[in-house]
Amino acid sequence: MSSDFILKLARAAGVVSLVAVGGLLSSCQVRPLYAENTGVTQKLAAVSFSDVGSRVGLEVRNHLVFIANHGGGEPKNPQYDVTLTVTSGTSGVIYLPSSSTSAAARTTVTVSYMLKRISDGKVLKAGNRAATSLLDQPTQEFGKIRADIDSENRAAAEAAELVAADLAATLSR
């Protein structure tokens, strides 16, 4: 083979690869989840959340209402409804046999949710999300109670963020 033929072949391969890369990049549709032109912001603002019975459940619900409506409160005319079930628990992770206590603990908040369209009752998404928060348990009783509450609040906020991201992704389709 002549070097001239190889050079022409290399140029042709280069042109073909440039066209292929251009085609692949033009089909890429990366966009922010909460972009205004996707309509997710308006759809999230039309979501109502069910009442939950526990203090931790109320923390999760309040965070979700705040995220969905950007601090604007609950919607007047919701188009979607989210049914929430929230459970939480704290368990010791480092057991000290000398004092029969745990010096550190882990709080886990689990949220089960179901997103329905109100107009036809169609379930759009159902799922579970869990978040864990670590804490130190002091020997003083009030400090221990306060640390438990703070840990539950942190885990509830994180679980709410995860659920809100799931809802936004579902509503963006």
Sequence ranges of the domains in the chain: 1-30, 36-171
The burial class, CB within 10 Å (0-12 / 13-18 / 19+), for 57 is buried
- Element of type H or E holding 147: helix 141-171
Note the pLDDT tens digit of each residue in 2-55.
Answer: 677 777 777 877 777 777 766 665 655 555 555 555 567 778 777 888 888 899
CATH code for the domain defined by 36-171 = 3.30.160.150
Range in 7-11, 110-114, 116-120 the model is least confident about: 7-11
This model's pTM is above 0.85: no
Give the whole-angstrom CA distance, residue 164 versus residue 49: 11
Helices (H), 46-140: 55-69
Please give the single-letter amino acid code of residue 154: R
Is-contact 49 64, C-beta < 8 A?
yes
Of the spans 36-45, 46-55, 129-138, 154-163, which averages the highest pLDDT?
154-163
